Amino acid sequence: MANLAQRIKELKDIRGLTSAKLSKLSGVPLGTLNKVLSSSTKSVKTETLKKLADALMVSVAYLLGEKTKTESVTVENYGYVKVAAVTPKLYLGNVDKNVLEIKENIKTLIVKRVNLIVFPELCICGYSLADLTLFDVILNKCEKALGDIADFSRNYDSLIFVGAPLRKDGKLYNCAVAISNGEILGAVPKTRIPSYDEFNEKRTFTPSPDENSEINILGKEYPFGNKILFECRQMQDFKVGVDICEDMWFVHSPSEHDALNGATIIVNLSASNELVGKASRRRKIVSIQSYKECVGYVYANAGMGESSSDLLFSGHNIIAENGKVLAETDLFSDSYAISDIDVSYLQFVRRKKFNYKAEHTDGYKTVKFSAYVTGGNVDRKYEKYPFIPSVEKDRIEGMETALDIQAYALIRRIKQVGSNKVIIGLSGGLDSTLAILATCRAFEKAVWSKKDIIAVTMPCFGTTERTKSNAEKLAEILGVTLKVVDITKSVLQHFEDIGHDKNVADITFENSQARERTQVLMDIANQVGGIVLGTGDMSEMALGWATYNGDHMSMYGINSSIPKTLVRALVSHVAETCDDELSFVLRDILDTPVSPELLPKDGDKIAQKTEDLVGPYQLHDFFMYHFIANGFSPSKIYKIAVKTFENDYDCKTVYKWLENFFRRFFVQQFKRSCVPDGVKVTEISFSPRGDWRMPSDIERQAWLDDLQNVKPL
């Protein structure tokens, strides 16, 4: 216990914590903490150790002095690795001052619980040192500096990459040096040495050898080569490969092979000078690399401390994940970018994409390290509407693209069928409104008469004057053919035929109306030689909120890959861009509660509101996206949903509807297994012929058990 007490005291002093403050941060009673610090207790509970480790921002293994153990320790943290790309203040050629700056940045970022810290290329001495990099005066100082940074890192439980020139076998290499927990772990030399335009690195540096070997640093041998990966003992999916600047810009980056050999994060120690338009190219290529390799890409760039004799460096740091830029710094800010990378999500995507034979796997070496991982904390921010672009320019482009996909897909299907007559059940609700708007767009593009679009409104027991009126106005304004078919008598006759009491408003009462409407649409389609367009959306299909062989069925599902939140956004987009008369009707439809209108109305008020029954579509679309697109577990979805919607829903409400989502999703697959054709618009589709294959008889208990683990009290 004496060693444990000493470590806690040491870390407490480094963090500037009193015993009382540590007690408050950790939740460990002060009396218990004092016993640990005085070594007067023979053992410490695992729970107490975990609380103290969290408060001190280290792993339990580190507290116990077990950081050199080779066995893996799995920690449930939902896959989040907090990373930072840093541009420290640089003093060109002044290694001692540069080391101090590097240390200060490490101290700052550790407090932010960063697991991986990446500094720029040759940051210990400066990239633009040119011929002076060859001299022993600099090289000796750089080597000593690595030992100094390693010694400093022993109390900072993270993986750190710094750039330094290193000598080996009479050659000089531009290296990324990995450091963690007081140790140098290895050195990765740069593979692509540029000698074009403003670059002349071949004058100084040698490209990486093809095979790994060892390099002597301060009298000790360390792994050396461009086939080295660094793997966290506490979280095996946290596995890091290395590019150095030009490696990323050139054909066949070393990181491509790193990714195929298991690296989920690529660090790039760079010195990329600034030019007009280069920042945009840099951002794009980092994004593309992260997408191609299915990795988190952490790009740390040299800053303004470099020489301005011929070039200027901007400190443009970028963090990307699977094609999306998560964080970046402003040009010429010489600061840091920080973000969480979700390696669990990356592994899920890889299991779908990396199904081909791996190449260049020979000779790889994995070096283990220990790093503090944050447990179940979720710091990453997620969009409330994952299907809708948050940037206005992207949103407008996305809305237009979605409508065009629907329109052109419908044109193709109509040409195949050989008749340009389509039949749509127009209810005055959101889904059928989007369907007829997209259909009208298709007919306008194809220069077909919109009179061949037959909108059928079919009032019955629950139909309100508001929705019926909106359907009729919409059809008139759009210039389509409107048919009104009151199905009340038909449904009542059906009740009599099957012996159902018309006063019992049960599931038979509701679904008889839905199936009657589908029959009417199908028969009219036969009459005119056309096809019925389905109006149901993807959110309804996820929840099974559709009557089997009722609104579940059509001849083409034009909304089948569009979630309810995007349906609303698309209708809103049209309302904002169309003439006033149409806009007025669309806005009233947008303001109408979502309802199937299958229960008797209350006066002329809607008696049946869908979101009161199945839950808010805002939540369900969020759940659906992160379950299907990202492969998140129910408990992880709960964690991120609680944080994302903390100002909208309490944790019990989130849990209630998330549990409802999974209960419904698993028992409704039989409906998704036989859906009609329908174009894919978003990145998710439930088509059994395309994106989604799931047995209808699957047990759901494993998912519900996982969610049970985070059930709020």
Query: Is a pLDDT exceeding 50 seen at residue 71?
Result: no
Residue 74 forms part of a structural domain: no
Share of the chain above pLDDT 90, in %: 78
Domain termination residue (choose one: 317, 350, 367): 367
In 206-353, which ranges are E strands? 213-217, 220-224, 228-232, 239-244, 265-270, 296-301, 318-321, 324-328, 336-342
8 Å CB contact between 339 and 89: no
Residues 506 and 363 in one domain: no
pLDDT at 359: 65
| pLDDT: which is higher, 378 or 420 | 420
Query: What is the identity of the amino acid at 191?
Result: T
Residue 65: the pLDDT is: 72
pLDDT in tens, 103-128: 999 999 988 889 999 999 999 999 99
157 assigned to some structural domain: yes
- The helix (H) or strand (E) run that includes residue 255 is helix 254-260
User: The domain that contains 316 carries what CATH number?
Assistant: 3.60.110.10
Distance CA 115, CA 504 (A): 61
Sheet harboring 556-557: ordered strands across?
Answer: 481-484, 453-457, 422-425, 531-534, 556-557
Average pLDDT over residues 207-232: 96
The pLDDT of residue 76 is: 56
- As a dihedral over the C-alpha atoms of residue 218, residue 223, residue 226, residue 227, rounded to 10 degrees, the angle is -170
* Residue 497 placed within a domain: yes
pLDDT in tens, 430-455: 999 999 999 999 999 999 999 999 99
Domain final residue pick, 36, 63, 90: 63
Backbone angles phi, psi at 112, to 5 degrees: -85, 10
pLDDT of residue 574: 97
Res 13 pLDDT > 90: no
Within-domain flag for 483: yes
**Which domain, by its residues, includes 39?**
2-63
**pLDDT at residue 46, rounded to an integer:** 82
How distant, in Å, are the alpha carbons of 130, 192, 302 from that of 196? 15, 12, 19
Query: Are residues 59 and 89 both part of a single domain?
Result: no
* Interior angle at CA 153, CA 147 and CA 158, nearest 5: 130
* Lateral strand order in the sheet of 318-321: 324-328, 318-321, 296-301, 265-270, 239-244, 228-232, 365-369
* pLDDT, mean over the chain: 92
Is there a single domain that holds both residue 33 and residue 116?
A: no
Find where tokens 């000078």 sit: 273
Greatest mean pLDDT among 16-20, 24-28, 625-629, 708-712:
625-629
**Tens digits of per-residue pLDDT, 493-541?**
999 999 999 999 999 999 999 999 999 999 999 999 999 999 999 999 9
What pLDDT, on a 0 to 100 scale, did the predictor assign at position 370?
86
Active site residue 636: no
Q: 218 in a domain, yes or no?
A: yes
Is residue 297's pLDDT more than 70?
yes
Q: How far is CA 539 from the centre of its chain?
A: 20
Q: Are residues 420 and 476 in the same domain?
A: yes
CA Rg, the chain, in Å?
Answer: 31
pLDDT the model gives residue 73? 41
Say whether both 671 and 639 belong to one domain: yes
Pairing relation of β-strands 228-232 and 213-217?
unpaired
Q: Is the dihedral of CA 682, 687, 693, 698 positive or negative?
A: positive
**Coil/strand/helix, residue 323:** coil
47 shares a domain with 89: no
In a domain, 70, yes or no: no
Model confidence at 72, pLDDT cuts 50, 70, 90, reads very low
Q: Would the pLDDT of 375 be above 60? A: no
Identify the domain boundary among 332, 367, 402: 367
Q: Do 406 and 283 have their domain in common?
A: no
Q: What is the DSSP letter of 132?
A: G
Report yes or no on 384 lying in a domain: no
Q: Which of 663, 661, 670, 637 is nearest to 651 (CA)?
A: 637
- The predicted model scores a pTM of 0.89
pLDDT tens per residue, range 481-496:
999 999 999 999 999 9
Please report, in angstroms and rounded to a whole number, the separation of the first and last CA atoms in the chain. 36
Q: Specify whether 245 is catalytic.
A: yes
Reported as a single tens digit per residue, the pLDDT across 336-348 is 999 999 999 999 9
**Three-state secondary structure of 678-703:** CCCCCCCCCCCCCCCCCCCCCCCHHH
Q: What is the pLDDT of residue 5?
A: 84
Question: Which residues are CB-contacts of 333 (< 8 A; sequence separation ≥ 6)?
Answer: 87, 315
pLDDT of amino acid 607: 64
| 103 is annotated as an active-site residue | no
State the average pLDDT over residues 44-69: 75
Q: Which two tokens stand for residue 131?
A: 């011929």
Catalytic residue among 51, 67, 121, 201: 121
Are 450 and 553 found together in one domain? yes
pLDDT reported for residue 609? 76
Task: Collect all residues with Cβ–Cβ distance below 8 Å to 263 and sequence separation of at least 6.
Answer: 229, 239, 240, 241, 255, 295
The DSSP secondary-structure symbol of 449 reads -
Question: What is the rounded CA–CA span in Å between residue 429 and residue 288?
Answer: 40
Q: 43-57, 399-413, 619-633: lowest mean pLDDT where?
A: 43-57
From 123, 245, 440, 460, active-site residue: 245
Does one domain contain both 101 and 53? no
Q: pLDDT for 234-280, tens place per residue? A: 899 999 999 999 999 988 899 999 999 999 999 999 999 999 999 99
The domain that contains 397 carries what CATH number? 3.40.50.620
Q: Which pLDDT score, from 0 to 100, does residue 604 have?
A: 67
Are 21 and 166 contained in the same domain?
A: no
pLDDT beyond 90 at 58: no
Residue 67 has pLDDT above 70, yes or no: no
- Is the pLDDT reported for residue 319 higher than 70? yes
- Same domain for 257 and 130, yes or no, is yes
Which is catalytic among the residues 51, 67, 82, 190? 190
For residue range 538-596, list pLDDT tens digits in order. 999 999 999 999 999 999 999 999 999 999 999 999 999 999 999 999 999 999 988 77
**Nearest 5°: CA angle at 321, between 252 and 562?**
115
Find out whether 257 and 227 touch, Cβ atoms under 8 Å. Answer: yes
| Whether residue 244 is found in the same domain as residue 344 | yes
The domain total for the chain is 3
What is the predicted pLDDT for the residue at 613?
A: 87
Lowest mean pLDDT among 6-15, 112-121, 312-321: 6-15
Mean pLDDT over residues 370-378, rounded? 70
Report pLDDT for 376: 59
Q: Structure tokens of 150?
A: 């390693």
CA distances, 374 to each of 112, 153, 491 (Å): 11, 19, 59
Confidence of residue 207 (pLDDT cuts 50, 70, 90): very high
With respect to residue 325, please indicate whether it lies within any of the assigned structural domains.
Answer: yes
d(CA 305, CA 90): 5
Amino acid at 572: S
Residue with tokens 């100084």: 204
Burial class (CB in 10 A: 0-12, 13-18, 19+), 211: exposed
Task: Provide the pLDDT confidence category of residue 366 given band limits of 50, 70 and 90.
Answer: very high
CATH number of domain containing 52: 1.10.260.40
d(Cα 536, Cα 531) in Å, to the nearest integer? 15
